[in-house]
Amino acid sequence: MAQMGTSAVWHDADKNWEMRELPLPELESDAIQIRVKATSVCGSDLHMWRGDGIPEDAPPRDPFVFGHEMMGEIAAMGNKVTTDSMRRPLKEGDRVAYSYFFPCARCYNCLRGEFGACKFRLGRKPLEEWPVCNGGFAQYYYLRSPNYVFKLPDSISNAAAAPINCALAQVYEALHLGGVRLGDNIVVQGAGGLGVNATAVAAELGASKVIVIDSQKPRLDLAIQCGATHTIDMNEYETPESRIDRVMELTNGIGADKVIEVVGFPAVVEEGLKMVRMRGIYLEVGHISPNSFASIDVSTMVSNQVRFYGIQHYDPWIIPNAIDFLERTADKYPLTSVISHEFPLDQIGKAFETAEWLGTQKGSEVTRAVVTP
């Protein structure tokens, strides 16, 4: 009989989690079975959990397993796998970070080396089509081929390693694509998990000013510890106009060279586009929910020559660089110690409520909730 693992299955119909035992797939020779050790609740998980962007009268989605910000240990390897993606020897029990998408290696984008843009890359499939653990909120996660997997150093804890493949890798990719360079002025819209990582990466890339906007004081304090030179507290600057003015004031009336958006609500984009300097770059990461419509005067984007980049996923080389960055800067930025709330898998409901609470209450404790399946 196939080995079984527990997955947290989300049901839209009654807005509840079900702990379900699912069979593990039979291991292919070039695949890896991961025993998941830590999965953090990403802002995009909250969008998905709430059903943001889905019309009220839409039928419930089919039950599904999700979660993507994760790390784990090698539970089993197919007989063709002997090393990680940097050709370092790999064995059962090794702690690893990995991308949660699987480029097909035989499509238009893959041929051009754009693995993060392969249309066939996503791992999560409907339960009836792929009746196995296949999300991060589960005991096991199946890395089918081609997978990108990297050994983790002992100095990075499980909880600290979980956000590497999303919160950190995603903003790393965005700032890399945006060509952030020495002396740039950067605005970060949102100081959640992605925002504080973006702040630290921008600072490390040599940004002159890193201006971070959020409504929660503890998050802004954390942003300062992560390299922000200025913060804009939305309780103090209550209107979009006042925040845009503040960015202009801090940049001598020029605007930011690059603005990165990691909140995921359309009004934030409408506001942020007005913070970009002439021929500056807007890096849009936050919107993953459907029906995210913003009202934009396109003529101002033309006259201000604003470059708008939509960004999702990353090329696999980002992950080992992100691991090195985290290890190298551990004493400089508190990125490896921001996670304090840990929940076992059967308390995943509480993990989401805590993460939601953290995102909505003013003055709440700053953290990222982690599930430890």
Q: Minimum Å distance from CB 234 to Zn ion?
A: 23
| Shortest reach from residue 43's CB to Zn ion, in Å | 7
Of 104 and 267, the one with the shorter C-beta distance to Zn ion is 104
Mind giving me the DSSP string for 301-348? HHHTT-EEEE-----TTHHHHHHHHHHHTTTTSGGGG----EEEGGGH
Q: Return the residues of window 64-93 that contact Zn ion according to CB under 5 A.
A: 69
- The SS3 call for residue 259 is strand
Q: Write the DSSP symbol of residue 238.
A: -
Handedness of CA 300, 171, 318, 371 (dihedral sign): negative
Which 119-148 positions form the footprint of Zn ion (CB under 5 A)? none
Of residues 160 through 219, those in contact with Zn ion by CB under 5 A are 166
Toward Zn ion, which CB reaches closer, 197 or 216? Answer: 197
Instruction: Give the one residue of 4, 107, 117, 296 binding Zn ion; rule: CB under 5 A.
Output: 107
Name which of 40 and 229 has its Cβ closer to Zn ion. 40
Minimum CB distance to Zn ion smaller for 4 or for 288: 288
Q: Which stretch binds Zn ion (CB under 5 A): 11-19, 33-41, 110-118, 252-260?
A: 110-118
CB nearer to Zn ion: give 86 or 111: 111
| Tokens 């969008």, residue located | 47
Residue in 19, 58, 86, 104 binding Zn ion, rule: CB under 5 A: 104
| Binding residue count for Zn ion, defined by CB under 5 A | 9
**For Zn ion, the closer CB: 87 or 106:** 106
Strands 276-284 and 307-310: parallel
Query: Which residues make beta-bridge pairs with 76?
Result: 33
Residue from the set 7, 33, 40, 44 that interacts with Zn ion by CB under 5 A: 44
d(CA 296, CA 240): 14
Q: Which two tokens stand for residue 175?
A: 């700032």
* Burial class for 237, CB neighbours closer than 10 Å (0-12, 13-18, 19+): middle
Place of tokens 């360079």: 181
Piece of the chain touching Zn ion by CB under 5 A; list 52-60, 113-121, 124-132, 262-270: 113-121
| Pair 273, 247: CB distance under 8 Å | no
> Under the rule (CB under 5 A), what is the footprint of Zn ion?
42, 44, 69, 103-104, 107, 110, 118, 166
